[in-house]
Amino acid sequence: MARKKRIWYPGACYHVMSRGIRRNRIFLSRLDYIRFLEIVGEVREKHPFTIHSLCLMSNHFHMLIETPDTELWIIMQKILSFYAGDFNRGHDLKGHVFEGRYTASIIENDRHFLEVSRYIHLNPVKACMLDDPQKYDYSSYRFFVSDKYKKPRDKVLKMMKDLVDTSRVLSYFPGDPKDQYRMFVEGRANHEEHEQLIRKEMREDEYWLP
């Protein structure tokens, strides 16, 4: 049987998600989050890419990623395999950490790009973990809407800030981009149709929420 041809567009953006096998947690401690971010940074040094939004949940993660020169599968294979090995060694475990291959959806247009960024940053709120997305420690959201984190001292915040480029998202909002993006994410405008389409693309439902 012929191998299915991989489709990749240089410079394309993707919404990427990967889940823990059998809905298990993929982050058991703060050190796990740190190690995951370290691995993402290490892979990026060898295969440059841009992260436009990022959120690490307890049993899955979301990433809005742009890949100029390297096929997405190469980047994700390295991130997931390196992290799975470290996770198992660190917790004296064996077997699969992630549920098979990651899920990815190509970004079709500017509106889709912004809706995915919003969806990613609201993940902790949709999971009923808190009501203010800025308070979630493992999300890039606060860097988009607040000036308080220009030089974060906290290691996780510093690593996330170094990994995430806010410029493209904020470029769509004239005037006060931080405040307007916050209103776009947290405002009362109805985004239900877009959210349902994104959830369908990523095969995500309420059972994957922590």
Percent of the chain at pLDDT > 90 equals 74
Domains located in the chain, CATH noted: 12-204 (3.30.70.1290)
The token duo for 25 is: 């947690």
Task: In whole angstroms, give the CA distance from residue 207 to residue 210.
Answer: 8
Task: Give the list of residues 6+ apart from residue 175 with CB closer than 8 angstroms, or none.
Answer: none
- In contact, 161 and 152? CB cutoff 8 Å: yes
What kind and span of H or E run contains 52?
strand 50-56
**How many other C-beta atoms are found inside a 10 Å radius of the C-beta of residue 33?**
21
Cα 73–chain centre separation = 15
Residues found in the chain: 210
Q: What is the pLDDT of residue 2?
A: 41
Task: In whole angstroms, give the CA distance from residue 6 to residue 188.
Answer: 39
What are 91-122's pLDDT values in tens digits?
999 999 999 889 999 999 999 999 999 999 99
What are 38-76's pLDDT values in tens digits?
999 999 999 999 999 999 999 999 999 999 989 999 999
Residue 41, amino acid: G
- In contact, 148 and 185? CB cutoff 8 Å: no
The token duo for 64 is: 């809005």
Look at the pTM and tell me if it is higher than 0.75. yes
